[in-house]
């Protein structure tokens, strides 16, 4: 196997006596879509927070492209190409879809845009932002105020904002949550397109989507990884099936 793009080594997070992620070891290969599934409260969101730098870990290491990034801040991780999609709550409803993405492009580009005149700067920003919107299938909705987009379109906009940071790896926390059937199909198609050029770590409760998109799946139960394998093998794994009894159906 190639050198992993992202490697979690013995990662752990606890709140007092409650151990939320416990000795987590996961390797994400370049180009793969690696899903992390698990019953409610298994620690999936906490793990994404630890990887993105939103939450410090109690122990363990996070290696990204061979570098130990465990002590880096969230912006430093984004700079290195490790981004998470921003939640709907971070979208500015009064600004158009294009402006939302352009702001994210500007944040990434920092000073490099200062040297352009205003008009050309705006053209460059908008051009890059339009590319991101095009990738998620929202180009036709670029001028609509974000607050007027449907729920599914807002989730696509979150993806575009994530893409604006030019990531090598995108962390996605439940991108299908709250979407209807048609909308979720659109987001799945977008993810299928993105996975051809990006490495993706996906947390998702929609098992149909997970099993159709993922190259490999890690299963987290009570903060521990009980299996990492292809979707077919994970689905057939008796420990995984037992962990899911009474939970979401494993399709």
- Rounded CA separation 40/218 (Å): 15
Among 2, 15, 115, 196, binds ligand ATP (CB under 6 A): 15
Q: Which residue has the tokens 């702001």?
A: 103
Cβ distance to ligand ATP smaller for residue 1 or 18:
18
Cβ nearer to ligand ATP, comparing 42 with 172: 42
Provide the token pair at 112.
Answer: 């490099």
Long-range CB contact pairs, 133-141, < 8 A, 24+: 133/97, 133/98, 133/101, 133/157, 133/160, 135/160, 135/163, 135/190, 135/193, 135/194, 136/160, 136/163, 136/190, 136/194, 137/186, 137/189, 137/190, 138/97, 141/97
Q: Which long-range contacts (CB under 8 A, 24 or more apart) does 225-228 make?
A: 225/24, 225/25, 225/26, 228/26
* Residue 84 engages ligand ATP in binding (rule: CB under 6 A): no
Q: In whole angstroms, how close is the CB of 12 to ligand ATP at the nearest point? A: 13
Residue 87 in contact with ligand ATP, rule: CB under 6 A: no
Q: How far is the CB of 6 from ligand ATP (least distance, A)?
A: 18
Q: Is 161 in the site for ligand ATP (CB under 6 A)?
A: no
Query: Is residue 240 a contact point for ligand ATP (CB under 6 A)?
Result: no
Residue 7 corresponds to which tokens in the numbers above?
């490697």
Single out the segment in contact with ligand ATP by CB under 6 A; choices: 13-21, 23-31, 135-143, 206-214.
13-21
Judged by CB under 6 A, does residue 8 bind ligand ATP?
no
Q: Residue 120, Cβ neighbours under 10 Å: how many?
A: 11
| Binding residues for ligand ATP restricted to 18-47, rule: CB under 6 A | 18, 20, 38, 40-46
Q: In terms of CB distance, is 7 or 174 closer to ligand ATP?
A: 174
Interface residues toward ligand ATP, by CB under 6 A: 15, 18, 20, 38, 40-46
């Amino acid at each position: 196997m190639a050198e992993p793009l992202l490697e979690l080594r013995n990662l752990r997070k606890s709140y007092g006596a409650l151990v939320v992620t416990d000795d987590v070891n996961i390797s994400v290969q370049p180009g793969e879509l690696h899903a992390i599934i698990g019953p409610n409260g298994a620690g999936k969101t906490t793990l994404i927070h630890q990887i993105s730098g939103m939450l410090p870990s109690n122990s363990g290491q996070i290696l990204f492209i061979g570098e130990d990034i465990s002590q880096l801040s969230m912006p430093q991780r984004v700079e290195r190409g490790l981004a998470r999609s921003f939640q709907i709550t971070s979208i500015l409803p009064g600004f158009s879809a294009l402006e939302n993405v352009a702001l994210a492009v500007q944040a990434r580009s920092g000073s490099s845009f200062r040297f352009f005149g205003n008009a050309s700067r705006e053209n460059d920003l908008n051009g890059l932002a339009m590319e991101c919107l095009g990738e998620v299938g929202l180009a036709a909705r670029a001028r609509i105020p974000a607050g007027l987009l449907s729920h599914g379109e807002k989730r696509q906009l979150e993806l575009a904002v994530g893409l604006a940071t030019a990531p090598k790896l995108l962390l996605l926390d439940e991108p299908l949550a709250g979407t209807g059937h048609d909308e979720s199909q659109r987001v799945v198609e977008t993810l299928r397109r993105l996975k051809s050029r990006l490495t993706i770590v996906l947390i998702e409760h929609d098992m149909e989507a997970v099993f159709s998109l993922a190259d490999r799946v890690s299963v987290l139960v009570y903060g521990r990884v009980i299996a990492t394998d292809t979707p077919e093998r994970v689905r057939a794994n008796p420990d995984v099936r037992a962990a899911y009894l009474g939970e979401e159906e494993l399709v």
